[in-house]
């Protein structure tokens, strides 16, 4: 194996462009087109099914690009449903944040009550509402489907595409990946950055040896892959994914040696795994020195399977130059105190690495907003980013810009 041949590429790439213009993508007008043509039509991963495991359990999720709040609840029949978080009486927010378990929803404004399935079942002082038709005043539904551990929403009246078609190529490949895991950490931050720039930062590993050279200097690559090329890169119709190469010569810090010597190893240490034991979508090339995968579900979601857990990342646009980043970390349920300490340690290490990425997102967005950069240039290791913009252009009905595509040469 050599540095030049380590990456296995898969997927149709003829429509991808190595140079992509950027000014209009971060403009107010461009953002409004994205809201209309992308976020109003896409299937959007919005919550974890493990957050609502029981009948009556619910979670409230804010969806910034739609400027709305949604209640996702598991009904008495076990079915997961989503509703606009609004009372049909006077428009108050029905549930004011968080998650929990209820037998019904009661509006705190006037006491109107709704079943877990969304039906209006109680009206305070109902004699004062002549000819009120309760059957027409149930909670307003949002299209909702569960895919493995993810709950995806679609805000079209009728989705233009079934979820199975939206996830074509990977729909059947991740069965059971989240089983046995528990939430071990969560972070939220609002950045002065365009959402495209933010999600792009996690769709390539090209930056790793520079941005993270002090926090995790040797956890990827290895002697036969000094440039840390991805082991596998695939682009699909509405997804992209890659597998990272673990450095099996990674030198554990004293804390890692103590904690991971007595528990399941977590980031930034990667255990040798048997590819045959993994579900089809994880480590799809069955790379022996596998560290983790990055899977980008267009438009704004990334999940990160590892041997002993996974991570979810949402990049919710607030406007053209602000994005809310939500990160949730999961690991196999702790068996003992050593596992719990290892989870806490890994959570802190992940947070510090994440902070390094955040600064880059803000700096890049700030400079691109000046208009001084006419286009971005991408390598083969950045195919997921090229695919991101190709999907966006297709959904917005925009023809690729006639940017020069001749190979770059040294000055």
Q: Express each pLDDT in 184-208 by its tens digit.
A: 999 999 999 999 999 999 999 999 9
Does the structure show a pLDDT above 60 at 408? no
**pLDDT at residue 407 above 80?**
no
Are 331 and 385 members of one domain? Answer: yes
Domains contained in the chain, number: 2
The average pLDDT across 328-355 equals 95
3-state secondary structure of 288: coil
Structural domain includes residue 323: yes
Indicate the pLDDT class of residue 409, thresholds 50, 70 and 90. very low
- Looking at the structure, tell me whether residues 197 and 327 fall in a common domain: yes
Same domain, 143 and 254: no
Name the token pair of 293: 């995968």
The verdict on 126 and 189 lying in the same domain is no
- CA 46 from chain centre, in angstroms, equals 8
pLDDT confidence tier of residue 68, bands split at 50, 70 and 90: very high
* Same domain, yes or no: 141 and 232: no
Residue 410: its pLDDT value, please? 35
Examine the pLDDT at 406 and tell me if it is beyond 50.
no
399: which DSSP letter?
P
Is 3 within a domain?
Answer: no
Cβ-defined contacts of 274-281 (< 8 Å, 24+) = 279/173, 279/174, 279/175, 279/176, 279/177, 280/172, 280/173, 280/174, 281/170, 281/173, 281/174, 281/177, 281/241, 281/305
- How big is the CA angle at 314 (ends 35 and 241), to the nearest 5 degrees? 100
Residue 342 has pLDDT above 80, yes or no: yes
Residue 190 lies in a domain: yes
Q: Is the pLDDT of residue 401 over 90?
A: no
401 within a domain of the structure (yes/no) = no
Share of the chain above pLDDT 70, in %: 96
Give CA separation, 192 vs 38, 196, 323, 360, in Å: 21, 12, 7, 11
Mark whether 386 and 257 lie in a shared domain: yes
**Structural domain boundaries enclosing 73:** 44-160
- Stretch among 38-42, 92-96, 109-113, 209-213 having the lowest mean pLDDT: 209-213
Domain at 120, CATH number: 2.102.10.10
**CA 43, 174, 209, 228 torsion-angle sign:** negative
Tell me the mean pLDDT in the region 315-335.
97
Out of 129, 160, 191, pick the residue that ends a domain.
Answer: 160
Helical segments of 230-293, H only = 254-260
CATH, residue 214: 3.90.380.10
Q: How confident is the model at residue 403 (pLDDT cuts 50, 70, 90)?
A: low
- The verdict on residue 245 lying in a domain is yes
State whether 205 and 352 are in the same domain.
yes
Report the predicted TM-score, pTM, of the whole model to 2 decimal places.
0.94
Whole-Å CA distances, 262 to 8, 75, 86, 308: 35, 41, 49, 14
What's residue 23's pLDDT? 82
Q: Are residues 36 and 57 in the same domain?
A: no
Half-sphere exposure of 51 (CA within 13 A, CB side): 21
Do 228 and 288 fall within a single domain?
yes
Residues 358 and 297 in one domain: yes
- Identify whether residues 236 and 255 lie together within a single domain: yes
Q: Are residues 238 and 295 in the same domain?
A: yes
Would you call 179 exposed, middle or buried from its count of C-beta atoms within 10 A (0-12, 13-18, 19+)? exposed
């Amino acid at each position: 194996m050599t540095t030049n041949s380590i990456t296995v590429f898969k997927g149709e790439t003829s429509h991808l462009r190595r140079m992509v213009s950027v000014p209009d993508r971060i403009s107010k007008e461009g953002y409004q087109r994205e809201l209309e043509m992308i976020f109003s039509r896409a299937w959007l991963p919005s919550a974890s099914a493990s957050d609502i495991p029981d009948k009556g359990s619910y979670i409230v999720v804010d969806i910034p690009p739609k400027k709305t709040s949604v209640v996702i609840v598991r009904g008495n029949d076990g079915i997961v449903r989503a509703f606009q978080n609004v009372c049909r009486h006077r428009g108050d927010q029905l549930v004011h944040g968080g998650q929990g378990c209820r037998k019904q929803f009661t509006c705190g404004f006037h006491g109107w009550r709704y079943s877990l399935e969304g039906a209006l079942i109680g009206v305070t002082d109902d004699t004062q509402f002549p000819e009120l038709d309760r059957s027409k005043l149930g909670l307003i539904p949002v299209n909702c489907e569960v895919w493995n551990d993810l709950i995806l929403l679609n805000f079209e009246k009728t989705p233009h595409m079934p979820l199975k078609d939206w996830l074509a190529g990977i729909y059947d490949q991740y069965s059971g990946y989240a089983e046995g895991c528990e939430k071990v950490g969560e972070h939220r931050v609002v950045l002065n950055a365009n959402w495209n720039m933010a999600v792009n930062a996690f769709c390539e590993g090209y930056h790793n040896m520079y941005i993270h050279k002090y926090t995790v200097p040797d956890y990827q690559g290895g002697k036969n892959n000094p440039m840390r090329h991805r082991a596998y890169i695939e682009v699909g119709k509405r997804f992209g994914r890659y597998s990272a190469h673990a450095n099996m010569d990674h030198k554990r810090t004293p804390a890692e040696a103590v904690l991971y010597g007595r528990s399941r190893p977590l980031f930034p240490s990667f255990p040798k795994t048997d590819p045959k034991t993994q579900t089809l979508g994880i480590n799809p090339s069955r790379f022996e020195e596998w560290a983790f995968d990055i899977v980008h579900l267009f438009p704004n979601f990334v999940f990160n399977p590892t041997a002993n857990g996974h991570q979810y990342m949402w990049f919710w646009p607030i406007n053209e130059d602000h994005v809310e980043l939500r990160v949730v970390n999961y690991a196999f349920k702790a068996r003992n105190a050593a596992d719990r300490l290892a989870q806490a340690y890994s959570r802190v290490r992940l947070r510090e690495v994440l902070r390094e990425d955040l600064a880059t997102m803000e700096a890049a967005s700030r400079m691109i907003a000046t208009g001084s950069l006419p286009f971005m240039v991408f390598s083969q290791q950045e195919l997921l980013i090229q695919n991101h913009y190709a999907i966006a252009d297709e959904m917005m009905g925009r023809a690729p810009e006639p940017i020069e595509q001749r190979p770059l040469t040294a000055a």
